[in-house]
Amino acid sequence: MSTPPCHWIDFGNLAIGIGTFTLAIVLAIVNWRSSNRDRKVHIADKRHDWLKEFRSDVAEFLTAMDAADMVNDFGGGEEEKRNIVRKQYLIVNKLSLLMDEKSGHTDMMLDHMAEMTELIMVNNQADTPDEKKKYREKVQDARIKIFEVSKRIISEEWEKIKKLED
């Protein structure tokens, strides 16, 4: 005697197969989303590190310019001036490599840095109090321009970090 076929068993096997396949698809989607989010978090962490370095370098540039200005005012030695200029060029080159060439901020930032460098290193011969006052105003304006561009760059990068953009 043969046993009659049991359609319920066939249906159960089919249901198990479909369930397993569906579970595999769901797990693949969850894994893909998780790895995508992890990648974005990793990029945001690297961008945050970049921001720290950028801030530090801009502050270091402004400090070097202040030191150069003081050396000019109080008559420092030639070796001291050369060291400050060397440090300043190192910082400018580092910042130019750090910044994105495609953004409009790079050229603006480097132009303002060059303007400040030229003011302090070349055009600082002010003899009268009025000339000295104008010189200080120009240096302060250059400093403000550098701060403004830096803040725009930092603000844009923070927005990217908050939104976890690539």
Residue range 118-154, pLDDT digits in tens: 888 776 776 788 888 888 888 899 999 999 999 999 9
27-74 residue pLDDT tens: 999 999 998 888 888 888 998 999 999 999 999 999 988 888 887 777
User: So where are the chain's domains?
Assistant: 44-163
Residues 6+ apart with CB under 8 A from 98: 50, 53, 54, 57
DSSP string, 31-79: HHHHHHHHHHHHHHHHHHHHHHHHHHHHHHHHHHHHHHHHHHHHT--HH
* pLDDT for 164 beyond 80: no
Residue 23's pLDDT is: 93
Residue 149's pLDDT is: 93
141 contacts 104 by C-beta, under 8 angstroms: no
Predicted TM-score (pTM) of this structure: 0.74
Q: Which CATH code for domain 44-163?
A: 1.20.120
